[in-house]
């Protein structure tokens, strides 16, 4: 998620390398054991699902009857799943691109300052504060009232842009605020026109941050479920297909499907993480 | 936070020196059409009338009367709040030691474990809720393991479809949103403060309780707000892991739209929930800390 970029964002004082041992030692062993348990709690269930995805058994669960990649073949040969995968990927790219464009322009506006920007900030962050289920319902009511039929590239796209916009804005805005004005001023003093300053100074500097933002928003959109559920109609995204498959019956290819979706969202986010690390190095 | 442009700078042709409102226009327009108006419409619809022929504009309080007149919906709301608060407290207890440990780690270990903390949360919560079904179910991994070990003869039914399973699922899905802001505040903590406490004769427990914990409160607050918000509106987890007696308010709202087709009443339920959530938040009251926790920088 976009918050990833947060973890190492701030400058660390050199003194951190010399943490006072006395304050830590008596707790160290207990905390280390606890940490091991915590990470087992995080990864255990996912590891079990990965194991079950290779189980030859027709029912999801133990005993382990031998290893097979059969369920992965089943997943990849189901046309509805492949269609949902395509839908999710194109929605992720499209909503990411739209949210990034809107947020980038808004970030520039925030740098300049404009009337009513506190209200706008509140509105941008609203989807984080509002329960997701209400975020879905308000759009269902809105489009229903207008008589707009649910569709992937109309109603669902709006729901996804609404959802990723606050995260995209928070990460991009932090980067834009950190951008040194002196560089733009220098370029302008040297005779660069506004669009040249934009394309040849500002954009190259924040390009890694833009790419990182795109990848994170892709991951957020790819995993979005609750808002989508209310406005999707008869189209399907991966989480919705997954949901229907769980609610109807626990079909044996579900663990394989889970592993595939986990791998896709993790890959997107890891790439985003790498790019955001790059943008930090460039900016510092 | 927002740097004001000084008058002298207006002469240089900065990208950012264009009219601010023009750059903000796409965002403002988007938010107005797809956020403000839909929310307003829902608020209005909560006073409308739903009949079998559809939902019609009106101004009646029937829907709210129905919400508040029976103990059914109030009871559901109170239980939902209790589950959300329990999830928040459990997440806090589970997360704090990890955040403290991560903040104290150094070098490559630190970045490795912080990254490892994130990876599971990059995946869909639908998937991460689903994983518990083959584990806790009647023919699930835990029952099979216990039977194989000879601890029990018959599979246990009490592992799934109850409030405990819902709490487990919610903590599993949302705990990062607690761990992260606490970690961020503890990581910023000046080590000199701890040294000072140590030099002044504070024992480790005293340092923890009287220096570290008070200074971590901004992170604890924004983490609590996040986890509370996420779990109070939960739909997926109670639907999959809870039984009929542990459904939450989100499930009841959703059923008005997905099956009962009573949009006016559903809107009233949703508005009630939003008002209650906002009331709880204003008690917890720290929107500022929330933004910091999310962006991880004072940007």
pLDDT digits (tens, 9 = 90+) for B82-119: 999 999 999 999 999 899 888 888 888 888 888 888 88
Distance from CA of A82 to the nearest CA of B (A): 17
Nearest CB to A131: which of B135, B198, B229?
B229
Residue B195 in any domain: the answer is: yes
Q: What is the CATH number of domain A2-283?
A: 1.10.3720.10
SS3 B262: coil
CA B184 to chain centre: 17
Provide mean pLDDT across the span A260-280.
80
Nearest CB to A39: which of B104, B116, B267?
B116
Lowest model confidence (mean pLDDT) among A78-82, A195-199, B44-48, B74-78: A195-199
pLDDT at B163 over 70: yes
Q: Which of A61, A39, A136 is nearest to B121 (CA)?
A: A39
- Count of A-B CB contacts under 8 Å: 349
Look at residue B254 in the predicted model and tell me its pLDDT.
Answer: 93
- Rounded to whole angstroms, the Cα distance separating B280 from A129 reads 12
Residue B53 in any domain: the answer is: no
pLDDT at B269 over 90: yes
A280 — pLDDT class (breaks 50, 70, 90): low
Look at residue B2 in the predicted model and tell me its pLDDT.
Answer: 46
Residue B9 in any domain: the answer is: no
* B124: its two tokens: 């869909």
ipTM of this complex: 0.82
Distance from CA of A45 to the nearest CA of B (A): 6
Number of domains in chain B: 1
What does pLDDT average to over chain A?
82
Higher pLDDT, B243 or B219: B219
Look at residue A219 in the predicted model and tell me its pLDDT.
Answer: 85
Look at residue B293 in the predicted model and tell me its pLDDT.
Answer: 46
Taking CA–CA distances from B225, the nearest residue in chain A reads A129
* A79: its two tokens: 């046309």
> Are B253 and A126 inside 8 Å of each other by CB?
no
Angle at the Cα of A5 (from A101 to B29), degrees rounded to 5? 25
> Are B118 and A110 inside 8 Å of each other by CB?
no
> Are B254 and A133 inside 8 Å of each other by CB?
yes
Residue B176 φ then ψ, to 5°: -60, -35
Look at residue B18 in the predicted model and tell me its pLDDT.
Answer: 57
Answer whether A80's CB lies under 8 Å from A238's CB. Answer: no
pLDDT at B9 over 60: no
Residue B10 in any domain: the answer is: no
pLDDT at B295 over 90: no
Taking CA–CA distances from A269, the nearest residue in chain B reads B122
- Rounded to whole angstroms, the Cα distance separating A283 from A123 reads 29
Strands B49-51 and B54-56: antiparallel
- Rounded to whole angstroms, the Cα distance separating B72 from B245 reads 12
Angle at the Cα of B189 (from B184 to B195), degrees rounded to 5? 150
- Rounded to whole angstroms, the Cα distance separating B140 from B147 reads 11
A155 — pLDDT class (breaks 50, 70, 90): very high
Residue B291 in any domain: the answer is: yes
A235–B contact, CB cutoff 8 A: no
Residue B15 in any domain: the answer is: no
> Are A137 and B257 inside 8 Å of each other by CB?
yes
Query: Residue B220 belongs to a domain with what CATH number?
Result: 1.10.3720.10
Look at residue A3 in the predicted model and tell me its pLDDT.
Answer: 42
Domain of residue B250, residue span: 70-295
Q: Which of B290, B252, B246 is nearest to B273 (CA)?
A: B252
> Are B191 and A16 inside 8 Å of each other by CB?
yes
Q: Which chain A residues in 70-89 lie under 8 Å from chain B, judged by CB atoms?
A: none
- Rounded to whole angstroms, the Cα distance separating A34 from A29 reads 9
């Amino acid at each position: 998620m976009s918050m990833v970029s947060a973890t190492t964002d701030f400058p660390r004082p050199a003194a951190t390398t010399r943490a006072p041992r006395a304050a830590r030692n008596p707790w160290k062993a207990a905390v280390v054991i606890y940490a091991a348990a915590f990470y087992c709690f995080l990864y255990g269930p996912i590891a079990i699902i990965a194991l079950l995805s290779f189980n030859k058994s027709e029912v999801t669960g133990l005993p382990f009857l031998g290893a097979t990649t059969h369920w992965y073949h089943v997943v990849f040969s189901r046309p509805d799943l492949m269609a949902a995968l395509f839908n999710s990927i194109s929605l992720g790219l499209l909503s990411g691109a739209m949210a990034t464009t809107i947020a980038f322009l808004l970030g520039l506006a925030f740098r300049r300052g404009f009337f009513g920007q506190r209200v706008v900030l509140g509105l941008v962050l609203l989807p984080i504060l509002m329960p997701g289920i209400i975020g879905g319902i308000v759009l269902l009511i809105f489009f229903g009232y207008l008589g707009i039929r649910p569709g992937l590239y109309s109603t669902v796209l709006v729901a996804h842009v609404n959802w990723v916009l606050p995260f995209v804005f928070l990460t991009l805005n932090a980067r834009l605020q950190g951008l040194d004005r002196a560089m733009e001023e220098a370029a302008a003093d040297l005779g660069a026109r506004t669009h040249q300053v934009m394309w040849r100074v500002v954009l190259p500097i924040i390009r890694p941050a833009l790419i990182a933002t795109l990848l994170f928003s892709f991951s957020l959109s790819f995993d979005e479920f609750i808002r989508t559920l209310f406005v999707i109609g008869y189209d399907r995204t991966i989480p919705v297909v997954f949901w229907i498959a769980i609610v109807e019956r626990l079909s044996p290819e579900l663990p394989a499907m889970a592993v595939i979706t986990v791998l896709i969202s993790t890959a997107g986010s890891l790439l985003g993480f790498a790019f955001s690390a790059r943008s930090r190095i460039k900016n510092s | 936070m927002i740097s004001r442009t000084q008058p002298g700078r207006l002469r240089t042709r900065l990208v950012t020196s264009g009219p601010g409102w023009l750059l903000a226009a796409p965002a403002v327009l988007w938010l107005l059409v797809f956020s403000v108006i839909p929310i307003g419409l829902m608020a209005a619809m909560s006073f409308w009338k739903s009949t079998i022929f559809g939902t019609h504009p009106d101004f009646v309080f029937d829907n709210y009367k129905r919400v508040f007149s029976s103990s059914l919906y109030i009871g559901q709301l109170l239980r939902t709040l209790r589950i959300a608060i329990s999830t928040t407290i459990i997440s806090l207890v589970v997360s704090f030691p990890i955040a403290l440990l991560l903040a104290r780690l150094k070098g490559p270990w630190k970045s490795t474990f912080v990254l490892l903390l994130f990876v599971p949360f990059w995946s869909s919560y639908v998937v991460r809720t689903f994983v518990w079904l083959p584990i806790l179910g009647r023919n699930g991994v835990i029952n099979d393991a216990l039977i194989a070990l000879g601890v029990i003869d018959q599979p246990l039914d009490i592992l799934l479809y109850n409030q405990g399973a819902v709490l487990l699922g919610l903590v599993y899905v949302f705990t990062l949103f607690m761990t992260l802001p606490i970690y961020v505040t503890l990581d910023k903590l000046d080590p000199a403060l701890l040294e000072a406490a140590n030099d002044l004769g504070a024992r480790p427990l005293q340092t923890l309780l009287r220096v570290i914990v008070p200074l971590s409160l901004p992170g604890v607050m924004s983490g609590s707000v996040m986890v509370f918000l996420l779990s109070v509106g939960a739909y997926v987890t109670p639907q999959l892991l809870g039984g009929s007696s542990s459904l939450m308010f989100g499930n009841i709202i959703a059923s008005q739209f997905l099956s009962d087709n009573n949009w006016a009443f559903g809107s009233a339920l949703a508005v009630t929930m939003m008002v209650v959530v906002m009331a709880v938040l204003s008690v917890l009251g720290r929107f500022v800390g929330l933004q910091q926790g999310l962006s991880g920088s004072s940007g």
